[in-house]
Structure 1
Amino acid sequence: MKPPVSVLNAAQRHTRELLLCGSPDATLEWRAVRSLLDAIADCHWAANGDYKAMLDGRELILRPAASKDVPPGDARTEIRLFVEQWEHAQLAAEAKSAE
């Protein structure tokens, strides 16, 4: 199990907040997204340049564009859903340990 939110650094928590609660048009850098994903999932670069993240059997494949920012749209939605899945896993683990 990857670390809880409390273990994320300030930049990773900020990126998480932008993804989950921020405006869909907020500037979100690929570098910040990769840092967050590295903290919550098993990530690696594929030979074809794709960035792959694995979390509880789910794979997220990102194809970073030449720009430094993640464009609004499908990629950002996929990243948000992936982070939400991690959040739900964290809550379930906390609830189970509290029993």
Structure 2
Amino acid sequence: MPISYDDFTKLDIRIAKIDSIEKIPGKTRIVKGVIDLGTEKRDVIIGGAEFYSAEDLVGKKVVVVANLEPKKMAGVESNAMLLAADVNDKPYWLTVNEEVPLGTKIK
């Protein structure tokens, strides 16, 4: 289904860094993460926990949709969505090099 250019421009897509990861009791496929958008930090739910360790994720600069309405999963409120390519149900997080400042808007 096509979306209009105006719809696309409503998305606030930015660069964030994964600051920390915590396991969620009883969950094996998702973890709680804290991301840094440069001007603020947010809690997020990160999928793919069965494929990646915390060490694989912490410190990565990723691409996020920053203006989705909050969604609660497993008792944790997620306040952004990390973007990933999905290959056979395994996420490959969209990343950028270290020179891109946190909070940079993607157009």
Please say whether Structure 1 and Structure 2 have the same fold, judged by a TM-score greater than 0.5: no
TM-score, normalised to structure 2, is 0.26
Higher strand share: 2
TM-score, normalised to structure 1, is 0.27
Higher helix share: 1
Q: Which has the higher contact order (CA 8 A, sep 6+)?
A: 2
